[in-house]
Amino acid sequence: MNASEVRQKYLDFMKSKGHVQVAPAPLVLENDPTTLFTGSGMQPLLPYLLGKPHKDGTRLTDSQPCLRLQDIEDVGDPRHTTVFEMLGNWSLGDYFKEEQIRNFFTFLTKEVGLDPTKIYVTCFIGNEKYGIPRDDEAAHIWQTVFKEVGIDAKIAEINTAENGDKRGIRDGERIFFYNDKENWWSRGGGIESTPIGDPCGPDSEVFYDFGEDKQDIDKYGQSHPASDGARFMEIGNQVFMQYRRKEDGTFEELEHKNVDFGAGLERITAASMDSYDVFQISLLKPIVDRIVELSGKKYEDYTSEMRIIADHLRGAYLLTAQGLRPSNKQQGYALRRLIRRAILKALNLGIEDNFLAGVLPMIAENYKDLPDSILTNRDEVLDVLSKEEQAFRHTIRRGMKELNRLKEQGLTGKELFMLQDTYGFPLELSVEEAKRQEIRLSEDWQKEFDAALAEQRERSKTASKGMFKGGLEDHGEMSTKYHTATHLLLAALQQLIDPSICQKGSNITAERMRLDFNVDHKLEKDELQKLEDQVNAWIKADLPVVHDEYDKAYARDTLKAHGSFWDKYPDKLTVYTIGDFDSPTSREVCGGPHVEHTGVLGHFKITKEEASSAGVRRIKAILE
């Protein structure tokens, strides 16, 4: 069964049980400052779980794309992904444990066709301190539904958080009790951290058993549902919101109890195939197969790298299709990190430039059923991410070359900082690559890196105080756009009029820009028109605008960055590049700020050309 079939079967099944299907929320929530991304199906529905009436009633269902970057370091194993799709259903004061447990068991065994002998469950063991009893109710319901299909489901009592018991499964045990580290839900986590006034309660998790041959006894001991290893995989979690935390820290029963259910689409699909590797399902295997084709490598030999690429490109596609753009801030940086990690792994596999063009269309096809209200920018994904790839591959080549030069001596935090500061090679990628190549890292590399960063910031702050104002009146949106347009105009002057032209001054406000430059004659109408046309052509091309910090000598001699005050610049400076990194449209020493791509500038129009002083002319222009 493929993922699309599982998704549709689930939604149809829940609608047959009286649930109304609601639209999924965007991955980036507009009015939720508490989190970068939608990380669960219940997150957009939290107000209704807290008591607000929902317009569609008390029984709801959906399939919600989610992104959790806290799992990014685990991606590469058979089941962890940063991106996943959560199948969800909710009872807002309607049905409770009996109907929920029966519905999910029926869906798994009848609709998906899972073997009930491979299903194991966990329940909450209770908490004596707060007077919350063991969830025998849920356990007994599970015993009943198992008995109805001929299975004698015995109850075990294991509390892994207290004793780390790895004794495995004995004598037909199928229902396990765990403490609040495993089987309690609140917005704060365990019982002690449950927020005052919040609904909360025990949960019952459902696991699929891939067989005893999948357990690693030497590494993890004998397996049981919540243990590590590949034998058991969680495929769903039923949260029974039956308590509320009071002002005094104790808990009281809710009058109207809720059910919050979530199941991983990818994991249920993998279970339906009896595959413990979620990267073999329809949403991911075509991506992996394409990576195999592009690299000429076998999945079995480069499993981790291929899983990371497939997962990260899927996340990058969904975020970009929803209108997010790579940047150095918050969600934009998370997107940039996903695409950069994927590109680095592709480079390790020997995949050359522009591999995104061969992979992203497959991902787009996988998500053609998601509504346009979520994926509002589908058509722009390839263009946006290809520009990011182009810029970052250049950074990678420079950084990898330097990293390989240093690897014999090992790396301290000072070298790691230099790789980031001079070559634009991000710290996390340097550390990741060092571990992959087994390059020795100093014991205190993080402290050494932080110290080098603090020293550089202080040095730059002192040396460049007042240096890089760039004639800006402020750092607002329009001033930022005019600042980038000034760089384009200077590049056009150098390309069309005289390559020796330099900036002699500028003044930028939110209403217009002014650039002074050296030239020995008044510019004629046709020259001004050519300049205007060239700047607008670059704007229409929607060129990427990227920046990094470099040593002054490297910026001047190797990058050939344009600058007017080399003798006054500090040892470390920022260089902005517009367009292709290897043959840039513009590359200037500058402190910013700038837009991230030229397409947002609008139409460039020169309004005046005049003399400024002897041998210096002035152009004024606006953006329409």
Domain boundaries, the chain: 3-25+39-57+83-274, 284-406, 409-463, 477-623
Q: Quickly state the pLDDT bin for 469 (edges 50, 70, 90).
A: very low
The average pLDDT across 345-350 equals 89
User: Could you report the per-residue pLDDT of 55-78, keeping only the tens digit for each?
Assistant: 999 999 999 999 988 878 889 998
Residue 622 makes CB contacts below 8 A (sequence gap 6+) with 511, 512, 513, 604, 605, 607
Q: How far apart are CA 21 and CA 90, in angstroms?
A: 10
Q: Which of 299, 326, 298 is nearest to 312 (CA)?
A: 326
Q: How confident is the prediction for the chain on average, in pLDDT?
A: 88
Q: What pTM was estimated for this model as a whole?
A: 0.71
Decide the pairing of beta strands 20-21 and 59-67: parallel
| Contact of 239 with 138, CB cutoff 8 Å | no
pLDDT at residue 466, as a whole number: 36
**Rounded to 5 degrees, what angle do the CA atoms 599, 600, 604 make?**
80
Which residues are bridge partners to 260 per DSSP?
90, 239
pLDDT at residue 22, as a whole number: 93
The average pLDDT across 338-350 equals 89
What are the tokens at 87? 């199948």
CATH architecture for residues 3-25+39-57+83-274: 2-Layer Sandwich (3.30)
pLDDT at residue 465, as a whole number: 38
pLDDT at residue 281, as a whole number: 96
Give the CA count within 13 Å in the CB-facing half-sphere of 18: 11
Q: Is the pLDDT of residue 163 over 70?
A: no
Q: Which of 317, 313, 315 is nearest to 380 (CA)?
A: 317
Decide which of 3.40.1390.10, 3.40.1360.10, 3.40.50.300, 3.30.980.10 is the CATH code for 477-623: 3.30.980.10
Residue 53 makes CB contacts below 8 A (sequence gap 6+) with none
| Contact of 525 with 587, CB cutoff 8 Å | no
pLDDT at residue 252, as a whole number: 94
The average pLDDT across 377-399 equals 85
Residue 450 in 3-state DSSP? helix
First to last CA, the chain: 54
Q: How far apart are CA 365 and CA 369, in angstroms?
A: 8
Residue 593 makes CB contacts below 8 A (sequence gap 6+) with 475, 480, 483
> What would the DSSP string read from start to end of 142-204?
HHHHHHTTT---EEEE--HHHH---B---TTEEEEEE-HHHHEE-TTSSSTTPPTT-EEEEEE
Q: How far apart are CA 200 and CA 185, in angstroms?
A: 6
3-class DSSP string for 234-259? EEEEEEEEEEEECCCCCEEEEEEEEE
Instruction: Count Cβ neighbours within 10 Å for each residue of 537-560 and write b for 16 or more, e otherwise.
Output: ebbeeebbbbbbbbbbeebbeebe
pLDDT at residue 468, as a whole number: 36
pLDDT at residue 462, as a whole number: 61
What are the tokens at 80? 């962890």
**Rounded to 5 degrees, what angle do the CA atoms 616, 617, 622 make?**
145
Which residues are bridge partners to 59 per DSSP?
91
Q: Is the pLDDT of residue 394 over 80?
A: no
Residue corresponding to tokens 């550089």: 456
| Contact of 258 with 49, CB cutoff 8 Å | yes
Q: Is the pLDDT of residue 417 over 60?
A: yes
Q: Which of 512, 437, 436 is nearest to 473 (CA)?
A: 512
